[in-house]
Amino acid sequence: MITHNQAKLIGRLKSRKRREERRFLVEGVRLVETLIDCQLAVEFFVASPALAETARGRRLRETLEAVGSPFFEVGDAELRRLADTENPQGVLAVAHEPERSLSRFQAPQLSCVLIFDRLADPGNLGTLVRAGHALGVSLAVALPGTVDPWSPKVVRASAGSLFRLPVAQEPWSDVAAWLRRHDFAIFCGDRAGEPVGRGGEAPGRFALVLGNEPSGLSEDVRADCDKLLAIELPGGMDSLNVAVAGAILLDRLLSRPSGT
C-alpha cells in the first residue's frame, strides 16, 4: 500500500502545486510503457488488479516488478481515486521532471525549435508537442504564461512525446538572444502573415512561435519576429485551432522537395 504522504503527493500533482514538486503524474498502460522506455527518473509506480486484465497489462506488471523503482499495489477503487482520469487502466507513475534548459542544447545539432507563447489550453499544448515530435522538431520552449507543460492533461495529450521531445521553460528575452546568437530565423504564426504553400521549405535553422489561442502573439515576441506566417483557408473559415495550424505550418516548413 502507498503511504498517506504519497497519496497526498499524487493529489498535489493534479493541482497547480505540481510546479513546486518538480514531479509529474503518468497514467495508463501506453504512457507508463513509454515513460520506462525513455528512462526518465521514476519515484514510484502504483498498480491495481485491473492492470492484469489484459496480456499487455500483465507484461507491463512484470516490467514494473523488474525495473527497480518502488512498486505499490492498491485496489481498483483506490487507484481510480488517486488518478486524474476515469479510466487509468490499473496503473500510474510518479516521475521526476527532467532538467531541460537552452544552455543544455548544442545549437548546431538543432534544425527547428517550436516555441509556445502563452498557450492556455493543455490539450493544444500536448497535441503540438506530439506533432512537433512526429514532424522532426528538435526542441520546444514554453514561454512564461503558457500552461504547465508537465500537468496531467498535457502529459496525456502528448501521448508520450513529452518524454522524447525536450521542452524547456525560458523567458522570451533569453530565448530570443539564444536564437539570434545561433543564427535561427524567427517565424511567427499569425492570421495576417504571409501564406505558406505546400512544399515550402524554411532556409537553415528556424524557430516557429505559436501564440495564445484568443489573443495571438505577445508584443515583445512580435517585435522580434523575422516573418509572420499564415495558412490559406480557401474553405472560408477565418481561423484554425492553434494545434491544427501549428502542425500544418510545421509540416510545410519542414517538408523537403521530392527526390531530395
pLDDT value for 187: 96
Contacts of 122 (CB under 8 A, 6+ apart): 147, 148, 151, 153, 154, 157
Over residues 96-109, mean pLDDT = 86
Distance spanning both ends of the chain, measured CA to CA: 57
Is residue 257 pLDDT above 60, yes or no? no
* Measured distance CA(19)–CA(97) in Å, rounded: 9
Q: Hey, what's the cell of 107?
A: 545549437
- Strand ranges for 42-177 from DSSP E: 42-47, 71-73, 91-96, 112-116, 139-142, 167-169
The whole model's pTM is what?
A: 0.93
pLDDT value for 108: 73
Q: Which of 129, 138, 135 is nearest to 163 (CA)?
A: 129
Over residues 170-176, mean pLDDT = 97
* 3-state secondary structure (DSSP) of residue 163: helix
* Chain position carrying cell 482520469: 85
What are the chain's domains? Answer: 4-96 (3.30.1330.30), 102-254 (3.40.1280.10)
* Chain position carrying cell 503527493: 9
Give per-residue pLDDT as tens, 122-160.
999 999 999 999 999 999 999 999 999 999 999 999 999
* Measured distance CA(239)–CA(158) in Å, rounded: 23
pLDDT value for 1: 83
pLDDT value for 109: 76
* Measured distance CA(91)–CA(56) in Å, rounded: 12
Q: Hey, what's the cell of 157?
A: 495529450
Give per-residue pLDDT as tens, 207-230.
999 999 999 999 999 999 999 999
